[in-house]
Amino acid sequence: MCTYYGEYAGYDYMYHLKMAENPNRELNDLFGDNWVTVIKDWFEEITGLEVREMVVNDELLRFD
pTM confidence score: 0.76
Say how far residue 13 (Cα) sits from the centre of its chain.
15
Q: Which tens digit of pLDDT belongs to each residue from 11-64?
A: 667 788 887 777 778 888 888 888 889 989 999 999 898 898 888 877 888 887
Q: How far apart are CA 21 and CA 35, in angstroms?
A: 14
Q: What is the pLDDT of residue 27?
A: 85
Share the mean pLDDT of the chain: 83
For residue 5, which amino acid is it?
Y
The neighbour count for residue 36, using CB atoms within 10 Å, is 20
Q: What is the pLDDT of residue 11?
A: 67
Residues facing 53 on adjacent strands: 16, 62
Q: What is the pLDDT of residue 46?
A: 93
Q: What is the pLDDT of residue 25?
A: 80
